[in-house]
Amino acid sequence: MRNNVARDYYAILGVDRSASDQELKRAYRKLARELHPDVNPDEEAQTQFKEVTAAYEVLSDPQRRQIVDAGGDPLESRGGGGGFDGFGGLSDVFEAFFGQGFNAGGARSRGPKGRVQPGADALVRVTLDLEECAMGARKELAVDTAVLCDSCTGSGSASGAKPVRCSTCGGAGEVQSVQRSFLGQMVTARPCPTCDGAGEVVQDPCGKCAGAGRVRVRRTLTVDIPAGVGEGMRVRLAGQGEVGPGGGAAGDLYVEVRERAHPVFFRNGDDLHCTVRVPVVDAALGVTIPVTTILGEETLVEVIAGTQPGTVVELRGQGMPQVRGGARGALHVHLDVVVPTKLDHKQVEKLSEFRSMRDEEPEVVSAASSHTGGLFSRLREAFRGR
């Protein structure tokens, strides 16, 4: 026998009769998190979950809430069917657990994406010598991208006719299916297979692009690489990327630089480093050494008398140019003092005479007797972080 006493939906949700829509939603979300079968498998909790879902469905509907406030029960006309058929509260179950964006029944509403879409960016790589990075270069590059169909000029139609609404999805761009579960009816949505989610179709597709409005071709582009570029830097060519579906605006093309190792110079940012071997006599007496820079210019390196192994001479403005601005880095010349390994009789005689004139003896370096700039001193300063 059916109970004729109307259910107190406000009490089920634990709110006052004057509760606002936001208060109803907050109360329902709180209870849904506590009672949802995935969280609370208890059989009594499942029953309560159905009750609070039905209560929220009723009270969130202004017409049904009027019936409740008048002392009636709007679910009695459905035989007390638990309150899930209308999906009124089910969307908030998904909101409670998965966040916003689900419509009634749990299906995410996407809407048609449109047939014309912007194109993606494209990326090609080019390998440059260090000289090309320093002076800039003009390169011819073969690029494979989608371009505008020259037969239909992007419309996708052989006759130029405008696309029409898709008959399968009615222009919605998606089709829905309904499944029943312990929560009630679940609505899922997927892109329309006929229009691929565009919501419209081309009735007479172009024979060249099959209605896509774009075709993929290989083309040659001339790219001006600015001076100063380096490994991993990218040059942007606006509008030279992929043409979008339906003839949409093309993305950008990025040319990424790969820098080939140089046999003489080592690069560190805008600075260059190279090593010059100096005979021990020249290091002792001093010498001027000509060095060709990365730009092909000749510059002079002054090796002062008494130069020690490991000395670095800095030539400012002889390094790499900056990409933005006219300044250039420095060229660091590392002096490698070379001691001869093979001497003839006369050379040995002269060096022996020189040694006797210097009256110097080998010395084990200690912290107390080390000279500034010696190996021990440099190691000590390195460990001290100086």
Asked if 148 contacts 213 with a C-beta cutoff of 8 angstroms, the reply is: yes
Taking 90 as the threshold, does the pLDDT of residue 131 lie above it? yes
Checking DSSP bridges between strand 271-279 and strand 331-338, what pairing results, if any? parallel
Taking 90 as the threshold, does the pLDDT of residue 283 lie above it? yes
133 annotated as belonging to a binding site for a ligand: no
Q: Is 342 exposed, middle or buried (0-12, 13-18, 19+ CB in 10 A)?
A: exposed
Contacting residues for 53 by C-beta, under 8 A, at least 6 apart: 28, 32, 83, 84, 89, 90, 93, 183
The structure tokens 């009769």 sit at 17
- 1-72 architecture in CATH? Orthogonal Bundle (1.10)
In Å, how far are 231, 256, 268, 371 from 235, measured between CA atoms? 12, 7, 20, 51
Give the separation between CA 99 and CA 110, rounded to whole angstroms.
15
Same fold, 1-72 and 265-353: no
For residue 340, count other CB atoms closer than 10 A to its CB: 10
Asked if 235 contacts 227 with a C-beta cutoff of 8 angstroms, the reply is: no
Q: How do residues 47-106 score in pLDDT, each as one tens digit?
A: 888 888 888 988 988 888 887 777 777 776 444 444 434 344 444 444 444 444 444 444
What are the extents of the domains in the chain?
A: 1-72, 265-353
DSSP string, 235-261: EEETT-SPPBGGGBPP--EEEEEEEPP
274 annotated as belonging to a binding site for a ligand: no
Statement: the pTM of the whole predicted model exceeds 0.75: no
206 annotated as belonging to a binding site for a ligand: yes
The structure tokens 């749990």 sit at 106
- For the domain spanning 265-353, the CATH number is 2.60.260.20
